[in-house]
Homo-oligomer: A and B are copies of this chain.
Amino acid sequence: MPSIAVLPGDGIGKEVINEGLKVLNFMGEKYSLNLKFEEFDIGAERFLKYGELIPDSILKRLETFDAIYLGAVGDPRVPAGILEHGILLKLRFHFDQYVNLRPIKLLNDRFSPLKKKGVNEINFTVIRENTEGLYAGIGGILKKDTQDEVAIQEMISTRKGVERIIRYAFEYAKNINGKLTLCDKSNVLTYSHGLWLRVFEELKKEYPEVQTDHYYVDAITMKMVRNPEIFDVIVTCNMFGDIITDLGAELQGGMGLAASGNINPNTVSMFEPVHGSAPDIAGKGIANPLAAILAAAMMLEYLGRKDLSDKIEGAIKISIDENLLSKDMGGNLSTGEVGDEIVKILKRG
């Protein structure tokens, strides 16, 4: 009986998670999954009321779940960075979710921003390191607010951290029979990305069956636009993964369709839409729940039911073909109606 901790968070987080749960509940009943949900109230409200981000008691409770299903955090009343650090990054680091898995898959040609690239070309996965690099949060400021001020931010890479993510990526590429691309900037970041490149070269020998190549991060952004079809799996550091997956999200039709898994097979993994809390449209019932529903599908795959994940993705594809979509995607349905339609399609087939 898989247990899922639900953290809707702020803004449209709540609205889109509702639709994800609608789909999960339906699938749970239909396929007797026996899913157990428990909701936790974290986000801006709690912070503004109690000055609390994730209390230790909740963190302890979360450790007992099979997965976490997260909406979005962020609120204009809270200074930038606080909720991201105190909740999103906190969870990634606390649970040592070292894999950030971000599929870039265009579901319908009409959503491609590119003249020459469609569903056959835009279909790859970015595997982003999720626990170190520039995200370590380590550094400092000397002589703050003087003319002599110096600020240092450390990009820290450990062999263990680099090796486990690159190994995960090789395994992933091997499983899908795909090519693995290393994205780094080892010609300039000779220390940190020198390590990445060395480990990549080492592991190549352990996976002779996996084809590989290597691009610097600047060139990757060009290639993603010019020849996205050359990619199957890209492995990269935390910071570059952040950047290229947003570009990737745009290639697959925008944030409305981008889902992400924060994975550590030995602790608790977390699934989330990549988009934020979108305070400007929160509460209006117009948010697009597809990314949250795709995140729910990724979670089912993680829990061992790739078959059901595929069904949900299939239903989303149909809803796109039939334009059963929210306004931002060119449809005219409300958030709730989009979820209802997905469930209807799943019922049909």
Chain B contacts for A153, CB-based, 8 A: 154-155, 157, 189-193
Interface size, chain A (Cβ < 8 Å)? 64
Contact among B113, B134, B159, B245 for A218, CB-based, below 8 A: B245
Within 8 A of B (CB), among A180-230: 185-195, 198, 217-219, 221-222, 225-226
Cross-chain contact B249 with A189 (CB below 8 angstroms): no
Within 8 A of B (CB), among A127-154: 134-135, 137, 139-141, 145-154
CB of A6 within 8 Å of the partner chain: no
Contact A242 B218 (CB under 8 A): yes
Contact of A185 among B112, B115, B146, B239 (CB under 8 A): B239
Q: Are B135 and A188 in contact (CB under 8 A)?
A: yes
Residue A160 interfacial (CB < 8 Å) = yes
Copies of this chain present? 2
Bound together, the chains give a CA A340 to CA B249 distance in angstroms of 43
A156 touches B151 (CB 8 A): yes
A115 and B154 alpha carbons, distance in the complex (Å): 39
Instruction: Give, as a whole number of angstroms, the nearest-CB distance from A181 to chain B.
Output: 16
| Given A139-B190, A147-B160, A222-B250, 4 new contacts (CB under 8 A) | A81-B187, A134-B155, A149-B158, A151-B192
Would you give 10 A-B contacts (Cβ < 8 Å), ordered by A? A85-B188, A113-B116, A134-B185, A134-B188, A141-B195, A148-B159, A151-B157, A151-B194, A153-B192, A222-B249
